[in-house]
Structure 1
């Protein structure tokens, strides 16, 4: 369970879409306050999902080969397969975009630029509640679902399970926390660095989405099949 949660947490913290949104949040007026609201809502989602699973299991892992145990592994397998298919879908879409004529690509670039400007404007006027809602909407729920299926194996009678759950929440939030702290303690440098990060992510977000989803999907499929057939 520990290794699975660490892998899932690492992929979540590297997933580009929430990072791009958080950069916009922190770069807006009163960005550090909005960023804190984003992080608190993000953490609240993770903690709520974990708490619901532990409430259902009573903090005790189901016996191996029992229906709840098999159901959790089956859910992990389905999520893993879904992530692999989603990765392939994004890869094919990017491939079609690259192969499209220059005029269509330029039109899409212009649309993307206008969309980015519009989002920037909305974030300037956004409140802390808006930032929190954005965190909930952009939570990679498929990956969080995989974490929930893994938490079924948690045994709260052992302190290691508490440590693993806390480590997962912190790891899944670590990129956001690092950017928030950077913005608090070095606001001028942070603004420049975050703008550069956003520009880089806009150019590379599609390959990053493809790779992160594929890696986690293969991991989940491999682990679930091993445990189902072992």
Structure 2
């Protein structure tokens, strides 16, 4: 019986499994992506998502969390699986099947020294450079999912600072959806959101009167 099992595995092709992370951040009214400028082959000198190979003692989720931590220094980050990409010739180096995850982080929280070590840079989504392999397809699919989930509390909770104005909140929506929203209609929508809480504090930088700051209600585990 053991020989049958051994032959079964030997008689089938072997290939690599990897994880690629689409890391979103929000800065100065724009959605940003954390990309690396590759200093290794294949495609040395080109832009790519950050990724890594699956280790034999890891699940896909654990690999994604490890890759994200190595690049940003962050743990317990909001992540979701986007899908798997397995075109035969997607990677010129070897046969590699990759599972993509998207992550949402507050740009102020990540470790810039780690980013420097990995030659990583924040790039505006509106100025996205050409990416290697099928990484642009991964980004597009992640963005479509993000747009569908934009009203989910966790989206803003992970991208905005602890305290924010309604203008910043609207700017985040506009950055994700890729369009301008009517201010009055958006404020009506905000009034129906039960996960936002108005504080007594004001942002005095935007005007003399200042704009009230909001925060997200505590999320349930």
Bigger Rg, structure 1 or 2? 2
Of the two structures, which has the highest relative contact order with CA contacts closer than 8 Å and spacing of 6 or more? 1
Q: Greater helix share, 1 or 2?
A: 1
- TM-score surpassing 0.5? no
Q: Greater strand share, 1 or 2?
A: 2
